[in-house]
């Protein structure tokens, strides 16, 4: 019938009429902060500008965008506590004193008193194992040849030990828990060696000093603030991987 109004079939939708019906789709405004960025630009359109590459460092144009983690900010560098600084200087002092002790011991072998002391010690050890005087005389003649070799070995061991002390001190200051573990093992071995020397009667006050400095330095790395610093440094290194 001519009096009956004609309805569009889209009006039958249970959700009502389309509010965007009859209008062209609109992209977000250029200044709007859309999480999806701007729509693609047709470089061939009149007046269009070629898009500029703003990818992440190390990514080439045309590659698929790499996901960037933005849930939490990168951890701040933890502040080094005073206990870690004290541990560094104590361990470094122990290593320096050990190096000085070995240098003095090695160089003393080249002096006349050192040579005589070494010769007497060797002769006494030879008599303890039951060697004859003729055999002892043969070994006595080897002393001038052995002295430079023993001096070089003693100094080399001192330098090597100092480098180990220096490595542990630097690594602990940098926040390495593995270096603290290595330092703990070496401190325990040093204390045991000192105890053996005390039993054997070859006690050296300088040895007691450098062992004490090293043990106290490693102990400072186990303080509460030092342990927290090492934990934060481990987390920082894990976050950068």
Our measurement of the distance from residue 141's CA atom to the centroid of its chain's CA atoms, rounded to an integer in Å, reads 50
How far is residue 218's CA from residue 188's CA, in Å, rounded to a whole number?
A: 10
Please give the C-alpha separations between residue 105 and each of 108, 129, 177, in angstroms, as whole numbers.
5, 26, 34
What value does the mean pLDDT take over residues 96-108? 89
What value does the mean pLDDT take over residues 137-149? 77
Q: What is the pLDDT of residues 216-232, one digit of tens each?
A: 999 999 999 999 999 99
Sign of the CA dihedral running 180, 182, 183, 189: positive
Predicted pLDDT of residue 69: 42
- The answer to whether 44 and 51 have CB atoms below 8 angstroms apart is no
- Residue located via tokens 């070089």: 152
User: Which are the contacts of 115, defined by CB distance < 8 A and separation ≥ 6?
Assistant: 109, 143, 144, 147
- The answer to whether 161 and 106 have CB atoms below 8 angstroms apart is no
Please give the C-alpha separations between residue 186 and each of 70, 128, 180, in angstroms, as whole numbers.
43, 33, 10
How far is residue 87's CA from residue 83's CA, in Å, rounded to a whole number?
A: 6
How far is residue 228's CA from residue 57's CA, in Å, rounded to a whole number?
A: 33
Phi, psi of 224 (to 5 degrees): -60, -45
Token couple for 159: 């330098």
Residue 190 binned pLDDT confidence (cut-offs 50, 70, 90): very high
Q: By mean pLDDT, which of 44-48, 68-72, 118-122, 185-189 is the weakest? A: 68-72
């Amino acid at each position: 019938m001519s009096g009956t109004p004609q309805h569009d079939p889209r009006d039958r939708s249970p959700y009502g009429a389309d509010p965007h019906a009859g209008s062209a789709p609109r992209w977000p405004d250029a200044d709007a902060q859309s999480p999806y960025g701007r729509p693609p630009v047709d470089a061939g359109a009149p007046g269009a500008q070629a898009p500029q590459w703003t990818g992440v460092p190390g990514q080439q144009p045309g590659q698929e965008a790499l996901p960037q983690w933005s849930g939490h900010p990168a951890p701040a560098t933890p502040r080094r506590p005073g206990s870690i600084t004290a541990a560094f200087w104590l361990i470094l002092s122990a290593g320096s004193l050990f190096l000085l002790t070995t240098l003095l011991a090695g160089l003393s072998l080249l002096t006349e008193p050192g040579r005589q002391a070494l010769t007497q010690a060797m002769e006494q050890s030879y008599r303890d194992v039951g060697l004859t005087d003729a055999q002892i005389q043969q070994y006595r003649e080897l002393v001038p040849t052995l002295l430079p070799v023993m001096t070089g070995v003693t100094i080399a061991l001192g330098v090597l030990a100092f480098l180990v002390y220096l490595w542990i001190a630097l690594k602990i200051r940098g926040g390495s828990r593995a270096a603290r573990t290595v330092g703990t093992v070496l401190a325990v071995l040093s204390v045991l060696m000192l105890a053996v020397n005390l039993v054997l009667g070859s006690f050296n006050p300088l040895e007691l000093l450098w062992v004490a400095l090293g043990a106290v330095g490693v102990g400072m790395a186990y303080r509460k603030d030092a342990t927290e610093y090492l934990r934060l440094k481990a987390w920082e290194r894990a976050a950068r991987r």
